[in-house]
Amino acid sequence: MITKKIADNYEPDFERGEIILIDKPLRLSSFSIVYKVRKAVAVKKVGHAGTLDPMASGLMIVCTGRATKEITSMMGLNKTYTGIISLGKTTPSLDSETEFDSEKSIDDITGEKILETAGKFLGGSLQIPPMYSAVKHNGKALYKFARKGVEVERKPREIFISKFDILKIDLPDVHFEISCSSGTYIRVIADDLGKKLGCGAYLKNLRRNTIGGFDVDDAFDIKEFIAYSNKFVPVS
C-alpha cells in the first residue's frame, strides 16, 4: 500500500499491483480520480473500492494491477464521515448539487430535539437509495433518470449506523460524525432527519474520513500522487 507517510521510502510497482489512498477534492467525480491515476501510473487495470459523490471530499481507495482483485473485499468495509446537515430547506438531490425546492421554519427546532432525533438512527434499518446516485436500474445509473425528472422504483437496503454524533449546532447547520455500514447514503440520513424534525433538511457538506482501517490523514492529494508517480513512470 502507498500512503504519504511511506512514499519517500517506497518504490511502487503499479503493474504488479498497488493500493493507493487518495483524498478526493470537492467537485471531482470518483471516475475522474481513477482516470487521473490510470494516466499517471500508465497501467490499464485501475479501479476504486467505493464511489464518493462529486459534492463530497475525502478518502478513496484506488487499486492498480493485480491489487484490483482486492476491491471486492474492501467494498464492504465500514465507513466514517463528518459533515454538515442544514435544516429548513430541501433539494431534489438531497445535497447541494441541485437548487432548493422547499423551505420551512426552524423556529421550534431545539438542540435537545436534534440530539434526541439523531439517536433514533442508531442500529439497523432499511434505506432506499436516492434517485441521485450511481445505483444501476436496467444498466443505467439512477442519477441519469433523475436529471430527466424520471423516478424509478428502488429496493430498500439494510444499513447499520453505529455512531451518529452531533458535534456542533449552529442553526440552520448541524455538524455531525457518522460511522456506518457500507452502502449507507448520508444524503438520505440528512433528508430523513429533516423529515423527522418536520422542517426538512439537506446535506450541505460531506467528507469521508475512514474506510475500515484506512484513514484520510494518510492519503495523497491527487496532485501530490501524480507528482510522486512521475518519479517512477516515464512521462509520455
Q: Picking from 84-93, 121-130, 140-149, 212-221, which range would have the lowest pLDDT averaged per residue?
A: 140-149
pLDDT in tens, 3-62: 877 877 889 999 999 999 999 999 999 999 999 999 999 999 999 999 998 889 999 999
Looking at domain 79-211, does it have CATH number 3.20.20.80? no
pLDDT tens figures, 77-136 = 999 999 999 999 999 999 998 999 999 999 999 999 999 999 999 999 999 999 888 788
What pLDDT, on a 0 to 100 scale, did the predictor assign at position 235? 63
Per-residue confidence at 156, pLDDT binned at 50, 70, 90?
Answer: very high
Decide if 10 contacts 51 (C-beta within 8 A). no
Domain 7-75+215-229 identical in fold to domain 79-211: yes
Residue 138: is its pLDDT beyond 90? no
Distance CA 33, CA 89 (A): 31
Domain locations in the chain as residue ranges? 7-75+215-229, 79-211
Structure confidence at residue 137 (pLDDT): 83
pTM (2 d.p.): 0.93
Please give the Cα distance from 64 to 59 (Å, whole number): 16
What does each C-alpha distance from 181 to 16, 105, 144, 190, 198 come to in angstroms?
Answer: 30, 32, 25, 16, 26
Catalytic choice (8, 23, 53, 165): 53
Asked about 53 being catalytic, the answer comes back as yes
Is 7-75+215-229 in CATH node 3.30.2350.10?
yes
Tell me the three cell numbers of residue 54. 462529486
CA dist., res. 53 & res. 185, Å (int): 10
Rounded distance, CA 85 to CA 173, Å? 6
